[in-house]
Amino acid sequence: MRAEFINPFLSSLVNVLMTMAQLEITPKKPQLKTTEVAKGDVSGLIGMVGPKTKGSLSVTFEEKLALEIMNRMLGERPTFINADVTDMVGEITNMVTGGAKCQLSEQGFDFDMATPIVVSGRDHTITHKCEGQIIIMPFNSEFGRAYIEICFDD
Amino acid sequence: MRAEFINPFLSSLVNVLMTMAQLEITPKKPQLKTTEVAKGDVSGLIGMVGPKTKGSLSVTFEEKLALEIMNRMLGERPTFINADVTDMVGEITNMVTGGAKCQLSEQGFDFDMATPIVVSGRDHTITHKCEGQIIIMPFNSEFGRAYIEICFDD
């Protein structure tokens, strides 16, 4: 897991939420996943397969933040994580990974994306099972927290 | 999503649990995911990327079943879903997908596997976001239920 992989994913989520939902999130310091655990209520997950490596990404939101993004993107304010919200989280996951893929491709690091999977459930946790180190990127917002986690086989 | 994709995944889970844990599970009728929802406590997820298509797989276990598999495979009987259990679920996910990949490759359908991700959280649900239909395969056992869900872009 190389440090230059971090910024494309981090900036991609910040940009997607600003562009699509006019919502500002503040990145906190990325870290190796040793102590901090991303707990959230809805997560988008996606597998990545390249000629040299493979890996996985997750984007996790607390419920209140996911519902606020929904409201700002689509003008709907559901009271719980329904199918429209999981659709939106799947789309955000695709956009974040696709945005990072573009940036990393310019650096000569290519991968293809699988289709996203969305998990909903109160306070679930995600564990990426790959050989490299797991990087966790926490974000704050006035509506709650979000996390990206990425891992690539070395 | 083609019907001939079902059996390789279904038989692969049955075989993995019988071989690794001497545990028998009984497949129920596979169905399109319209009404039945796989709720479980621990799930392994994996992305698949091939030259012609891409997709995702999940294997979901109820806690009691996951802990019994753990006991039979590794002789440990944890009282909750700890890191050893999520490791095991990640391995099972790899083995099930790898087994199906071998069978499907003989039929001329190739894909590469991303690295697995494991989700734990009481009663979480999984939604595969791809263009094709989602197939859900329920399994019964004396220790609880398991589900495979697969989806490929058409």
State the best of A89, A127, A131 to mutate against chain B, taking most chain B CBs within 10 Å: A127
| Residues of A in Cβ contact (< 8 Å) with B63 | none
User: A129 at the B interface (CB within 8 A)?
Assistant: yes
> CA dihedral defined by A33, A36, A37, A42, rounded to 10 degrees?
-100
pLDDT per residue as tens digits for the range B57-90: 999 999 999 999 999 999 988 999 999 999 999 9
What pLDDT, on the 0 to 100 scale, is given for residue A154?
Answer: 72
Say if residues A48 and A54 touch (Cβ distance below 8 Å). yes
Residue numbers of the domain that contains B114: 3-152
B129/A116 CB distance under 8 A: yes
CATH of residue A86's domain is 3.40.1550.10
User: Which residues does chain B have with pLDDT short of 70?
Assistant: 1-2, 35-36
Task: Answer whether A151 touches B (CB < 8 Å).
Answer: yes
The count of domains in chain B is 1
Report residue A23 as tokens: 């919502």
Read off the pLDDT of residues A132-146 as tens digits, 9 standing for 90 and up.
899 999 999 999 999
Which of A56, A94, A118 is facing B115, going by the closest CB pair? A56
Task: Report yes or no: A45 and B117 within 8 Å, Cβ to Cβ.
Answer: yes
* Whether residue A1 has pLDDT greater than 60: no
Measured between CB atoms, which of B48, B124, B153 is closest to A120?
Answer: B124
Residue B37: the pLDDT is 74
At A32-63, the pLDDT tens digits run: 877 667 789 999 999 999 998 899 999 999 99
pLDDT exceeds cutoff 80 at A117:
yes
For residue A32, the model assigns a pLDDT of 87
Mean pLDDT of A93-111: 94
**Any CB–CB contact under 8 A between A124 and chain B?**
yes
Q: Do A114 and B151 touch (CB under 8 A)?
A: no
pLDDT in tens, A7-24: 999 999 999 999 999 999
